[in-house]
């Protein structure tokens, strides 16, 4: 079975937030580069909670779409 979540995201180190995020504790997601089976994504407000594991190809498509302004606010 393919891994889709990481139960306790805090067991991994090296999480990063978007450079557009502030340090005021607002809602934000964090990602972890270099994970062997995909891109872990977690809620920055719940660092000890789970993380979703996104396939690398899906993450690349998502980032490309964001940079192209493909989503409306």
Distance in angstroms (rounded) separating the CA atoms of residues 20 and 9: 22
> What was the pLDDT predicted at 40?
95
Instruction: Give the model confidence (pLDDT) of 22-49 as tens digits.
Output: 666 667 889 999 999 999 999 988 889 9
Sketch the domain layout of the chain as residue ranges: 5-67
| Segment 46-69, tens digit of pLDDT | 889 999 999 999 999 999 998 999
- Distance (Å, rounded) from C-alpha 9 to C-alpha 41? 9
Question: What pLDDT is attached to residue 26?
Answer: 67
Spatial separation of the C-alpha atoms in residues 9 and 17, rounded to whole Å: 14
Helix (H, G, I), strand (E, B) or coil at 62: helix
For residue 18, CA distances in Å to 15, 28, 30, 41 come to 10, 8, 7, 12
């Amino acid at each position: 079975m393919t891994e889709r979540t990481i139960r306790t995201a805090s067991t991994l180190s090296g999480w990063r937030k978007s450079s557009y995020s502030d340090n005021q504790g607002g809602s934000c997601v964090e990602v972890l580069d270099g994970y062997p089976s995909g891109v872990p994504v977690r809620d920055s407000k719940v660092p000890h909670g789970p993380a979703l594991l996104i396939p690398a190809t899906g993450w690349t498509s998502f980032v490309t779409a964001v940079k192209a302004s493909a989503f409306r606010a």
